[in-house]
């Protein structure tokens, strides 16, 4: 797998990722958000919610008027059933008409007009009221005049065509005990058992006080209570007012509880009470405000959802990119490692073959070749050990064997085995080992490997000033092992990353130097397992100092896997 091909594949999968994210996630979600937004805007523009509420209000008013009408007609029909027949004698008719009134205190006047003329009676209890008496005289006279005229017959015909054969009309009247305008509802009707050819007409006048103080408030209250609240918990209120007011003010004659000041949202002219109209609204809040609040809430919600979606998308992209970066690092690692394995193997093979051919005659040269073969195989072992350790750590199987160890001895031995390589590469080695250190409980092999990795890095990344210092000393309650070089150094931004697996800095020298990116991650794992730490202090262009700190009262626990 060569590097160039690797790069092309990386670019291609990124492209594929963007296409997939775009087609499978971004486009549908963006379309959904767009549709929702435009729908909400249309809602806002067309005042859809408000229109729906108004429609609802309209229906409520219709229902309310219907039940009012039902009650009005029932009262009239009940009284009409007790009306005297026009064929009775005058005193009986009079008595029966009086009885109609005494049975139903909700009527002020009642009359019967027949061939014998107008019989007009008024509720006795109200007879003292000047307004009522005046009304009695005027009404009695005007209706008699009307019905006796030619129009009387025509009116009977009209009545016979009306629902219930009742004609309703309302007129404003004056009453002492009523605040503001009072309304009188007048019902004119024909009697059921009388021939439609005869001009016989009955009349009932609803008491304005009863209408205003009892009947209408009760009806409004009943309607309002029936529809206590909508899904949003808003309570409704209703009122009745004089229709077609000149000043356009809808001042309530009667209102249900909760009708504060304010205009009705929807009005309906009443057929049962001609001249009056009903109005409806929500208690304390206008439909417009409700609609606006709803749209605002929906926009905010949609905004939050969109942000969450975008956040999710960014997160996904970030995660996937990270995974892809790790995948790329892994494949770089494979390519680097295979190269690293190949170099010592090629050297071993070359020197072994040369020896085999027997062309080398001097003992000195032979010795040198053997040494190279040994060193190269040691390098190979080191590399393979690194890889094996790494895979054990990854699988969570890595175990450490802690033993009381003379750490100075361990460091010196490791340096001795590496000294040849150090010197051969032209490095000045400074050893500062404190011989008086107490025994520390460590995994010898692991500490030696950590030191080797750190020294190997110092060698690899010091192209100019070839200097290496290895210092072992005691500080407070711990032992410190310092490996210092005068190499290329590491930027502070990258100092935290170099301990991650596969990570390699962007320095061109690092790029051209073979490496797996595993060494420091192993060192960190080893230091963690010992309850210690690994730190770096470095200046780019000046050099680096890695410090491995091990606690003196060494831990003897088997290492927890740390990736
Ligand atoms: P590698 O096999 O690449 O050396 P390591 O895990 O040992 O992997 O190191 C990770 C990276 O840290 C290296 O690729 C290099 O960029 C940087 N690094 C490590 N040691 C040094 C050092 N002594 N000087 C400069 N850079 C270093």
pLDDT, tens only, 469-481: 999 999 988 999 9
Least confident of 34-48, 52-66, 116-130, 447-461: 34-48
What DSSP line would sit under 457-503, residue for residue? HHHHT-SSEEEEEEEEEEETTEEEEEEEEESS---HHHHTTTTSTT-
The predicted pLDDT at position 494 comes to: 93
State the pLDDT at residue 247.
62
**What is the end-to-end Cα distance of the chain in Å, rounded?**
26
Q: Please give the share of the chain, as a percent, with pLDDT higher than 90.
A: 49
Report how far residue 500's alpha carbon sits from residue 322's, in angstroms, rounded to the nearest whole number.
Answer: 13
Which of 201-205, 226-230, 455-459 shows the lowest per-residue confidence on average (mean pLDDT)?
226-230
- pLDDT per residue as tens digits for the range 369-401: 998 898 788 878 878 888 888 888 877 788 888
Q: Please determine, for residue 163, whether its predicted confidence score (pLDDT) is greater than 50.
A: yes
pTM higher than the cut 0.85: no
Q: Which of 198, 201, 185, 109 is nearest to 147 (CA)?
A: 201
Ligand 1 pocket: which of 487, 495, 515 to mutate (most atoms within 8 A of CB): 515
Across the range 243-265, mean pLDDT stands at 79
CA distance 214 to 178: 12
- Closest ligand 1 atom, residue 546 Cα: 23
pLDDT of residue 5: 39
Give the integer Cα–Cα distance in Å for 253 and 239.
Answer: 7
What is the rounded distance in angstroms from the CA atom of residue 90 to the CA atom of residue 100? 15
| Span from the CA of 547 to the centroid of ligand 1 (angstroms) | 14
Residue 482 near ligand 1, beta carbon < 6 Å: no
Within 8 A by CB and 6+ apart from 225, the residues are none
Virtual CA dihedral for 406, 400, 526, 443, nearest 10 degrees?
10
pLDDT at 325 over 60: yes
Tell me the pLDDT tens digit for each residue of 8-26: 344 556 677 778 877 887 8
pLDDT score of 512 more than 50: yes
Average pLDDT of the chain is 86
Mean pLDDT for 233-258 is: 80
Q: In what order do the strands lie in the sheet with 533-539?
A: 428-433, 465-475, 478-486, 543-551, 533-539
Contact present, 482 and 470 (Cβ < 8 Å): yes
pLDDT, position 24 = 83
Helices (H), ranges, 87-203: 90-103, 130-148, 151-161
pLDDT value, residue 33: 87
Centroid of ligand 1 to alpha carbon of 478 (angstroms):
25
Q: Is the dihedral of CA 69, 75, 77, 83 positive or negative?
A: negative
Ligand 1 centre and the CA of 457: distance in Å?
Answer: 6
Residues 232, 56 contacting (CB under 8 angstroms): no
Measure Cα distances from 176 to 128, 129, 276 in Å: 12, 8, 21
Structure tokens at 107: 């009527």
Separation between Cα atoms, residue 121 and residue 109, nearest integer Å: 6
Q: Closest residue (by CA) to atom 21 of ligand 1?
A: 457
Given a cut of 60, is residue 505 above it in pLDDT? yes
For the segment 257-273, the average pLDDT, to the nearest whole number, is: 87
382 lines ligand 1 (CB under 6 A): no
Higher pLDDT, 49 or 369: 369
CA distance 364 to 349: 19
* Residue-level pLDDT at 523: 94
Q: Contact at 8 Å (CB) between 281 and 262?
A: yes
- pLDDT value at residue 88: 92
Atom number in ligand 1 closest to CA 521: 6
Protein residue whose Cα sits closest to atom 19 of ligand 1:
457
530-563 pLDDT per residue, tens: 999 999 999 999 999 999 999 987 544 444 434 4
CB 312: neighbour CB atoms within 10 A? 12
CB 260 within 8 A of CB 283: yes
Residue whose CA is closest, atom 16 of ligand 1?
A: 505
Per-residue pLDDT, 21: 76
Name residues whose C-beta falls within 8 Å of residue 236's C-beta, 6 or more positions apart in sequence.
57, 60, 224, 227, 229, 230, 280, 281, 282, 283
Under 8 Å between Cβ of 88 and 191: no
- Of residues 432 and 53, the one with the higher pLDDT is 432
Instruction: Name the CA dihedral angle for 317, 320, 323, 328, rounded to a multiple of 10 degrees.
Output: -80
Find the 14 Cα to ligand 1 centroid distance in Å: 27
Question: 414 or 288: whose pLDDT is higher?
Answer: 414
Nearest-atom number in ligand 1 for the CA of 513 is 3
**504 Cα: distance to centroid of ligand 1 (angstroms):** 6
Residue-wise pLDDT for 272-313, tens only, equals 888 889 999 888 888 888 888 888 898 899 999 989 988 988
Residue 458 CB–ligand 1 contact under 6 Å: yes
Regarding the beta carbon of 208 and ligand 1, being less than 6 Å apart is answered no
């Amino acid at each position: 797998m060569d590097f160039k091909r690797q790069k092309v594949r990386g670019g291609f999968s990124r492209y594929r990722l963007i296409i997939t994210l775009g087609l499978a996630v971004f486009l549908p979600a963006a379309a959904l958000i767009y549709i929702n937004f435009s729908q909400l805007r249309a809602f806002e523009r067309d005042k859809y919610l408000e229109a729906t509420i108004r429609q609802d209000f309209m229906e409520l008013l219709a229902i309310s008027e219907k039940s009012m009408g039902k009650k009005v007609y029932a009262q009239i029909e009940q009284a009409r059933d007790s009306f005297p027949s026009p064929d009775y004698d005058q005193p009986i008719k009079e008595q029966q008409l009086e009885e109609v009134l005494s049975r139903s205190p909700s009527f002020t006047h009642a009359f019967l007009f027949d061939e014998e003329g107008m019989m007009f009676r008024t509720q006795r209890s109200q007879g003292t009221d000047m307004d009522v008496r005046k009304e009695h005289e005027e009404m009695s006279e005007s209706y008699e005049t009307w019905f006796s005229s030619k129009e009387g017959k025509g009116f009977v015909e009209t009545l016979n065509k009306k629902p219930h054969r009742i004609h309703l009309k309302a007129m404003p009247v004056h009453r002492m005990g009523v605040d503001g305008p009072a309304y009188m509802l007048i019902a004119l009707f024909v009697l059921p058992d009388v021939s439609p050819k005869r001009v016989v007409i009955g009349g009932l006048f609803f008491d304005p006080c009863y209408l205003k103080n009892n009947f209408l408030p009760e009806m409004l209250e009943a309607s309002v209570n029936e529809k206590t609240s909508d899904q949003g918990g808003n309570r409704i209120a209703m009122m009745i007012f004089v229709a077609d007011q000149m000043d356009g003010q809808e001042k309530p004659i009667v209102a249900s509880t909760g009708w504060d000041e304010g205009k009705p949202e929807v009005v309906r002219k009443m057929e049962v009470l001609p001249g009056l109209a009903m109005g409806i609204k929500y208690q304390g809040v206008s439909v417009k405000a409700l609609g606006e609040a709803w749209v605002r809430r929906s926009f905010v919600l949609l905004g939050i959802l969109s942000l969450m979606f975008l956040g999710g998308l960014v997160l996904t992209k970030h995660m996937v990119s990270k995974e892809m970066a790790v995948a790329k690092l892994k494949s770089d690692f494979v390519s680097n490692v295979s190269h690293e394995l190949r170099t010592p193997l090629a050297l071993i093979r070359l020197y072994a073959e040369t020896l085999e051919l027997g062309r080398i005659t001097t003992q000195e040269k032979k010795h040198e070749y053997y040494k190279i073969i040994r060193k190269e195989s040691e390098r190979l072992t080191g590399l393979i050990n690194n890889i094996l350790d790494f895979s054990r750590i990854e699988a969570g199987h890595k175990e450490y064997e802690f033993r009381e160890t003379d750490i100075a001895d361990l460091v010196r031995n490791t340096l001795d085995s590496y000294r040849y390589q150090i010197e051969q590469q032209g490095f000045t080695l400074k050893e500062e080992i404190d011989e008086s250190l107490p025994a520390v409980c460590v995994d010898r092999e692991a500490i030696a490997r950590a030191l080797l990795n750190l020294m190997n890095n110092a060698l690899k990344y010091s192209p100019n000033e070839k200097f290496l210092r290895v210092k072992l000393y005691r500080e407070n309650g711990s032992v410190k092992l310092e490996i210092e070089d005068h190499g290329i150094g590491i930027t502070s931004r990258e100092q935290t990353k170099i301990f991650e697996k596969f990570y390699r800095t962007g320095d061109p020298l690092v790029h051209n130097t073979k490496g797996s990116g595993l060494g420091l991650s192993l060192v960190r794992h080893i230091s963690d397992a010992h309850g210690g730490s690994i730190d770096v202090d470095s200046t780019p262009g000046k050099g680096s100092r890695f410090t491995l700190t091990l606690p003196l009262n060494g831990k003897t626990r088997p290492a927890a896997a740390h990736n």
